[in-house]
Structure 1
Amino acid sequence: MKVRSRNAIVRGEIGGEFAMSTSWKHCSVIALRILHSRGKATCLSRVRVAAVWRWPVGRGPGSGVWVPGSGGLGVRVRPGWLAGGRAFHRYSSLAAAEVDLDDVDVVERGESEAFSEADREASVAFLRTLGLKDGSLTRLVKKYPLVMSGGFKEGMVSLVQGLSEVGVSEQLASRILEKNPGLIFRILERSVYEDNLAYLQSCGLTAKQLERVVRIYPQSLGASKKLQLEPTVEFLLGLGVTEEKLGKVLSLSPYYLGYRHEISLQPKVAFLLGLGVKRENLGKMIMEQPSILCLSMGENVIPKLKYLESVGVERARFGEMICRYPAMLTSNLDTMKLKVDFFGSKGLIGKNLVNLLTLHPDLLGRSLDSLNLGFVNVQKIGFTQEEVCSILKMHPTVLSSTETHLRKKFDFLTTVMNRSLKEVLTFTAFVTYSLERRIKPRHRVFTWLLAEGLLPQKNYSLRTIIGGSEEYFRDRYLVLHPSAEAMYKEPLEVKAG
């Protein structure tokens, strides 16, 4: 068997404290010699450092742990203290193939400690009920023989039952076991999963949301409720995340449940506030983009901000950009560069580009195909590339309009209103107004007022007719005749009906 070299430090009270930094093979031989010399080791099939345990104050480690192996062989290890506290490692694996068997005595495990054939068959049958196939089951038993014990079976039954009681698929337990057996052992050893599931339920998570949390971040089952879950939830609520949206936030970014907020989250909040993000906007941002505080500021966020600075965006504008479009921070940097390059290729450069990015950062969330299609749609109406850019400088949302929508609006402008297409370049806001709710009703009122002689006969600009607030239009024009008000409202009432 090929031996994988790995550095390790082992400390123990057996045979006096010893420490070494060497390969696992050498480490295994030395450790077993010391254990065997004290009568503590028989032999092994697999022994590995499996967990770190803490004993209550005033109590020491137990008399030893038997780690079963194949063929009735195993090793009994008395755990040794680690320097600097009451934590000690339980030696539960040093692979037999990594140790020369001549260095230790091989003895048979006592009859009372051996797994009977009936026990083995029952354990294998149970593992199969969890959904493990033969290949996975064989690897699992070989690497973690403790799965054959009655204690493990009881633990798994309890875990499956706990998941089922809150509406989470019991198959998740077997998936975790198959992918990460060590994690299952830690979850069972901590035995806090029932309390954690109940707490998450009390936070408003639905069964579907709980299932997503467990599937993506099963470590939440073994996390400390007092040190991690409760403080983090309170922290998110304190930032403005509502109780109604808390379940959504945690289910979309369950990694929050692994954080200690004062260490991992508070510094990120301070960083965002330093960029100009207002505290009152934090909760809204998190609800809109839950993963925002799970990002690495150094690896994910800062490189994007530096790039935006390199194209001319001032640091003082970052706060408003992030508030307008929080997903900007979660986007891919290379994709962001491609979109900025696209705008540059269309003639939007310098100050025009900066204004576009700062006022409409959501455009960075659009696909290149979508942006290009929007640009082409405006060109098809009859504008040159330069003219399209002049429109986009003020109203980039026109890129979201379909060709059909734009053509109806501009056909009405040229055929019904008898106005030039180029007039839009002096009043670009025209592209943002609704044809049915704004353009048609105002044109109809103006036409009638002129026909009735209620307005001076002159050429009114497009801005005069379509621009101006609703209040201004009513006070300036609708008051000229009682019928004007009804004429202006009628299409809206008909449409609403």
Structure 2
Amino acid sequence: MASALTRRKYLRCVFDDSKLSKILSSVKPSQKPRSPILYAGANVNISNHRLFSTQIAKFPEYEMPSVTWGVIQGRKEKLVSRVIICDYLKSMGIIPDELEDLELPSTVEVMRERVEFLQKLGLTIDDINEYPLMLGCSLRKNVIPVLGYLEKIGIQRSRIGEFVKQYPQVLHMSVIVELVPVIRFLRGLDVEKQDLGYVLMKYPELLGFKLEGTMSTSVAYLVSIGINPRDIGPMVTQYPHFLGMRVGTMIKPLVDYLVSLGLPKKILSRMFEKRPYLLGYDLEGTVKLNVDCLLSFGIRREALASMIAQFPQILGLPLKAKLSSQQYLFSLKLKIEPDGFARVIERMPQLVSLNQNVIMKPVEFLLGRGISSEDVAKMIVKCPQIVTAQLGLMKNSFYFYKSEMGGRPLEELVEFPEYFTYSLESRIKPRYQLLQKKGIKCSLAWFLNCSDQRFEERLRGNYIEMDTFGPSFCMGGKLELPGSEQQHVSDEEDDESDDEMIYRQTISL
């Protein structure tokens, strides 16, 4: 009786009456421990004290040791230590509710060490509360080996904390069983070794996908539609998210829809190789809505394929707002009707996202040279690319036309605005000088709107053939869009199928 009172008196120093009654009521008389156990609350080795000798003899059998959490405890010791550790976590501002079914360390000191280690990585208490299960990972057996491997494959130590914030589940993973196979898979796709860290920082969830499931299926499907296997690696580096997309619900429906608009798979494969982020466009919520929006602004359905091939990003833009804004500008300042605006967008879809100040500079230059606003509108509808021409180059080309080309009328520029899209030094001057030597007089289109080979054939001919105009915008020079990639469109006049034309436009972007 005296020993029982002593035990109760000792426990009341640590627990209140309600917790104490729960602990004592769980004791079963027939169970014995197999080894000493650390008492988490008092930090004493119970095997060296007689205080709990009777209770120790009654504890249940030990559970098998956990690979992750290591320390073996009896059921009662787990209950005691869990209460104390949860109180510690609450004092730190950590909500331990999700840890109810998780095996926790045996002492507060071990848990404190984990919390402090995570904080040194750069994680805050809020980050831990976002994913409190990370507190169940052993530093020695899980966290340190995983972080060491991540650093080895290219994730900078200064960004390790950021990586863990993005994908805390990585702390539970086995380096050999789970991480290494994913890295080998990426290397097998020709992802460069120095790019592995960059790829994982962009999409850390890759480490959680099954190799024989989503990732390999996505790659196999893309190769089946014509993507070169050697281009998969660069695609992953640029946009690794497609490896986590399901073929049946995301990739294939998008491909099928674009094919239904008139884009051959050969063209789509080239688009995806250069811009794999297109695979991430939401088919129902963005792509289809944007196609419907284009049609509502007067774009012809038969022109959609060519537009998408030229400027595939148009499928992912907030298109309605951009088209409304540009149409207002074209109507108010350029005096171009909605139908003319639709033809402009068909010929140069990049205009939907072009800054209005950029558009107005070439327009103001042409108006200042004596060309009427009606004629400027005609020029833009016929060749929208002139509004993206660099103003300095445009001035040089205009002054050469006026001073060196024998007083040609401005009307010829109105009829052939593509003149401003050709390079003055590499095409206009050398070709015009050859015409001068031959004594040939011809239109701008006759000597500019053709390939070098065709131009030489024309010079050797004994007659001047009639002007044969190809596409409305057919040039041999370079057009540089402000804030975008440089565009180079071939000017060959040979007959070609629609697929081949779209293909050449696509690969030139």
TM-score category, normalised to shorter length: 0.5 to 0.7
Label 1:248 to 1:366 Cα distance change in 2 as closer, same or farther (>3 A): farther
* 8 Å CA contact 1:123, 1:153 repeated in 2: no
- Supply the AA of the counterpart residue of 2:341: L
Q: TM-score, normalised by structure 2?
A: 0.64
Label 1:64 to 1:196 Cα distance change in 2 as closer, same or farther (>3 A): farther
Label 1:164 to 1:243 Cα distance change in 2 as closer, same or farther (>3 A): farther
Pairing partner for 1:443 from 428, 432, 435: 432
Question: 1:278, CA displacement in angstroms?
Answer: 0.6
> How far apart are the structure 2 equivalents of 1:143 and 1:205?
32
Question: 1:250, CA displacement in angstroms?
Answer: 2.2
Matched, 1:312 2:325: no
* 8 Å CA contact 1:375, 1:388 repeated in 2: yes
> How far apart are the structure 2 equivalents of 1:164 and 1:125?
20
Label 1:255 to 1:469 Cα distance change in 2 as closer, same or farther (>3 A): closer
- Supply the AA of the counterpart residue of 2:106: F
Question: 1:279, CA displacement in angstroms?
Answer: 0.8
Label 1:114 to 1:414 Cα distance change in 2 as closer, same or farther (>3 A): closer
Query: Larger deviation: 269-278 or 192-201?
Result: 192-201
Pairing partner for 1:160 from 138, 147, 150: 147
| 1:378-424: CA deviation from partner (whole Å, max 9, x where unpaired) | 33333222211211222222122222212222212222222222332
Q: Which residue of 2 aligns with 1:424?
A: 413
Aligned residue for 1:312, secondary structure, equals coil
Label 1:141 to 1:433 Cα distance change in 2 as closer, same or farther (>3 A): closer
Label 1:237 to 1:406 Cα distance change in 2 as closer, same or farther (>3 A): same
> How far apart are the structure 2 equivalents of 1:208 and 1:377?
48
> How far apart are the structure 1 equivalents of 2:312 and 2:84?
59
Aligned residue for 2:190, secondary structure, equals coil
Pairing partner for 2:400 from 409, 412, 417: 412
Calculate the aligned-residue CA RMSD, in Å.
3.8
> How far apart are the structure 2 equivalents of 1:442 and 1:270?
46
- Supply the AA of the counterpart residue of 2:361: L
> How far apart are the structure 2 equivalents of 1:322 and 1:270?
15
| 1:165-204: CA deviation from partner (whole Å, max 9, x where unpaired) | 32222454432434564x3466569962221122112212
* 8 Å CA contact 2:137, 2:172 repeated in 1: no
Pairing partner for 1:474 from 448, 452, 456: 456
| 1:300-338: CA deviation from partner (whole Å, max 9, x where unpaired) | 112211111111112232222212211111222222432
Q: Which residue of 1 aligns with 2:205?
A: 219
> How far apart are the structure 1 equivalents of 2:131 and 2:273?
41
> How far apart are the structure 2 equivalents of 1:423 and 1:73?
84
Q: Which residue of 2 aligns with 1:277?
A: 263
Question: 1:146, CA displacement in angstroms?
Answer: 5.6
- Supply the AA of the counterpart residue of 2:84: G
> How far apart are the structure 1 equivalents of 2:442 and 2:449?
12
* 8 Å CA contact 1:209, 1:251 repeated in 2: yes
* 8 Å CA contact 1:186, 1:222 repeated in 2: no
> How far apart are the structure 2 equivalents of 1:233 and 1:340?
41
Q: Which residue of 1 aligns with 2:71?
A: none
Aligned residue for 2:138, secondary structure, equals helix
> How far apart are the structure 2 equivalents of 1:306 and 1:257?
29
Question: 1:281, CA displacement in angstroms?
Answer: 0.9
- Supply the AA of the counterpart residue of 1:156: V
> How far apart are the structure 1 equivalents of 2:384 and 2:86?
74
| 1:278-303: CA deviation from partner (whole Å, max 9, x where unpaired) | 11111111123222121111111122
Q: Which residue of 1 aligns with 2:110?
A: 119
* 8 Å CA contact 1:172, 1:214 repeated in 2: no
Label 1:114 to 1:250 Cα distance change in 2 as closer, same or farther (>3 A): closer
Matched, 1:384 2:366: no
Q: Which runs of 5+ in 2 are unaligned?
A: 1-21, 28-73, 88-95, 463-509
Label 1:151 to 1:473 Cα distance change in 2 as closer, same or farther (>3 A): closer
Label 1:463 to 1:225 Cα distance change in 2 as closer, same or farther (>3 A): closer
1:59-458 to structure 2, matched below 5 A, reads 69-72=82-85, 93=97, 115-132=106-123, 136=124, 138-139=125-126, 147-149=134-136, 151=138, 153-178=140-165, 181=168, 183-184=169-170, 187=173, 192-207=178-193, 209-333=195-319, 334-345=321-332, 346-417=334-405, 418-450=407-439
Q: TM-score, normalised by structure 1?
A: 0.66
Question: 1:140, CA displacement in angstroms?
Answer: 5.9
- Supply the AA of the counterpart residue of 1:314: R
- Supply the AA of the counterpart residue of 2:368: K
Count of aligned pairs: 379
* 8 Å CA contact 2:299, 2:342 repeated in 1: yes
- Supply the AA of the counterpart residue of 1:399: V
Aligned residue for 1:192, secondary structure, equals helix
- Supply the AA of the counterpart residue of 2:428: I
- Supply the AA of the counterpart residue of 2:371: F
* 8 Å CA contact 1:187, 1:219 repeated in 2: no
* 8 Å CA contact 1:253, 1:291 repeated in 2: yes
Label 1:165 to 1:73 Cα distance change in 2 as closer, same or farther (>3 A): closer
Question: 1:128, CA displacement in angstroms?
Answer: 4.6
> How far apart are the structure 1 equivalents of 2:442 and 2:110?
94
Label 1:206 to 1:305 Cα distance change in 2 as closer, same or farther (>3 A): same
> How far apart are the structure 1 equivalents of 2:86 and 2:435?
98
* 8 Å CA contact 1:381, 1:410 repeated in 2: no
Question: 1:155, CA displacement in angstroms?
Answer: 1.7
Q: Which runs of 5+ in 1 are unaligned?
A: 1-34, 41-62, 75-91, 97-111, 481-497
Query: Larger deviation: 194-203 or 63-72?
Result: 63-72
* 8 Å CA contact 2:167, 2:205 repeated in 1: no
Label 1:194 to 1:460 Cα distance change in 2 as closer, same or farther (>3 A): closer
Q: Which residue of 1 aligns with 2:93?
A: none
Label 1:442 to 1:69 Cα distance change in 2 as closer, same or farther (>3 A): same
Q: RCO higher in 1 or 2 (8 Å CA, sep ≥ 6)? A: 2
Question: 1:428, CA displacement in angstroms?
Answer: 3.2
